[in-house]
Structure formats: C-alpha cells, structure tokens
C-alpha cells in the first residue's frame, strides 16, 4: 500500500473516530495503531491547513497605472531583442515600476483593442496568480482624469446599454462609444 493511500485511510479513520465519539480507551487503541503508521500526529485540521499552504491562493489587488507593451518595455529597460515591427504584448505598469502581464478576458478586452486607453491613467481591480506577475482583471475599469476617478465603459445611445468592451452594440449592432463618468455621478 502506498504512503498516500495509508494517509488517506488514516484520515478517514480519524474522522470516523471523532464523529462516533469513540470511548477514549478505544480511541487510544486507534491512536496507537495510527502511531505505528506514523500518522497519528496528523489531525484533520492540521492536514487541511497543510493542503491550503500547498495550494497558494491568488492575491486580490487594485492597481493604478497604464497599459504598456511588455515587449517594448523590456526592450527599453533591458535591451530585449525585440523587432521594431512586432505583435504588441500588453501588460499593466504601476507607478512603482511593477509590470504585470494581462490575461485577455472579457473584462480586459478593452485594454487590448482600444488604443485610446493606452494614454490613460487607469485603475484596475483583479487578482495576481501565485508565483507569477499575471493579472486577471476582475472588475470594471476606471480612469483618472484631472484627479477625478471615472467609471470607464462603453455605451450604446440607441439601446441605453452599457458594455465593458468596444465594438458593435450587442443589441442593435451600432458602434458603442467610450464613456468616462465621474464616480457618483448619475447615469
Ligand atoms: Zn509593442
Ligand atoms: Zn444598441
């Protein structure tokens, strides 16, 4: 029997013991049996905590900065061997110089396709994955203009529908327009 399998059986036995409120004497016998297997010191809670530690969780972040082309950024900073003509690789750079790779998702799509956002000071909410600098945008984008925070979104006047990315309106197919609305201002 593999050690993994033994641990599994021991954990089940321990759970059952706690659940059934086995008399201490009987429980002692079981603990002794587990001790022989070398796993008696592994209570269930500790095992769960260990599992959690082994699986690092993404970090929730709110970042302020700008969209940059990572290829150009690495060329500028470290002379990375990037061709002048290249496919842009978009990322997000904060004021303290930290650079994140952007996952392309529905919520980040605008950062990849709307050139107007390249020049804007932005706030993005999202999560960064363990052992990486990979950023997944998890909330609606915001911009800062003249010190004022704006919700940034796209809007179809005809249908009065807001969307998170540019392109044709999901309803009438007319082009949507970029809107930056100061926080707290009524629609
Ligand atoms: Zn580029
Ligand atoms: Zn529409």
| pTM of the predicted protein model | 0.70
| CA 156 to ligand 1 center in whole angstroms | 30
Query: Which one of the ligands is nearest to 154 CA?
Result: 2
| CA 132 to ligand 1 center in whole angstroms | 21
Query: Which one of the ligands is nearest to 74 CA?
Result: 1
Q: What is the DSSP letter of 77?
A: H
Question: Which region holds residue 97: left if phi is over 0, alpha if psi is between -120 and 50, else beta?
Answer: left
Question: Residue 156 half-sphere exposure, CB side, CA atoms within 13 Å?
Answer: 18
| CA 103 to ligand 2 center in whole angstroms | 27
Q: What is the mean pLDDT of each run of 10 residues along the chain (187 residues)?
A: 56 51 44 49 71 84 98 96 95 96 97 95 98 97 96 97 94 96 81
Q: How far apart are CA 47 and CA 26, in angstroms?
A: 23
Q: How far apart are CA 77 and CA 61, in angstroms?
A: 25
Instruction: Provide the pLDDT for residue 50.
Output: 72
Instruction: Give buried/exposed letters for 78-106 (b at 16+ CB in 10 A, else e).
Output: eeeebeeeeeeebbbbeeeeebbebeeee
| CA 68 to ligand 1 center in whole angstroms | 8
């Amino acid at each position: 029997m593999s050690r993994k399998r033994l641990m599994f059986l021991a954990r089940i036995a321990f759970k059952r013991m706690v659940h059934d409120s086995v008399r201490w004497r009987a429980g002692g016998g079981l603990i002794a049996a587990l001790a022989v297997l070398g796993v008696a010191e592994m209570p269930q809670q500790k095992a769960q905590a260990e599992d959690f530690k082994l699986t690092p969780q993404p970090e929730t972040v709110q970042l302020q900065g700008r969209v940059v082309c990572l290829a150009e950024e690495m060329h500028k900073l470290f002379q990375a061997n990037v061709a002048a003509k290249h496919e842009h690789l978009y990322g997000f750079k904060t004021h303290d110089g930290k650079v994140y790779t952007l996952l392309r998702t529905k919520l980040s799509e605008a950062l990849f396709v709307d050139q107007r956002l390249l020049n804007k000071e932005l706030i993005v909410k999202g999560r960064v994955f363990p052992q990486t600098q990979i950023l997944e945008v998890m909330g609606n984008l915001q911009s800062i203009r003249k010190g004022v925070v704006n919700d940034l979104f796209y809007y179809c006047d005809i249908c009065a529908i807001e969307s998170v990315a540019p392109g044709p309106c999901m309803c009438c197919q007319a082009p949507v327009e970029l809107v930056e609305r100061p926080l707290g201002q009524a629609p």
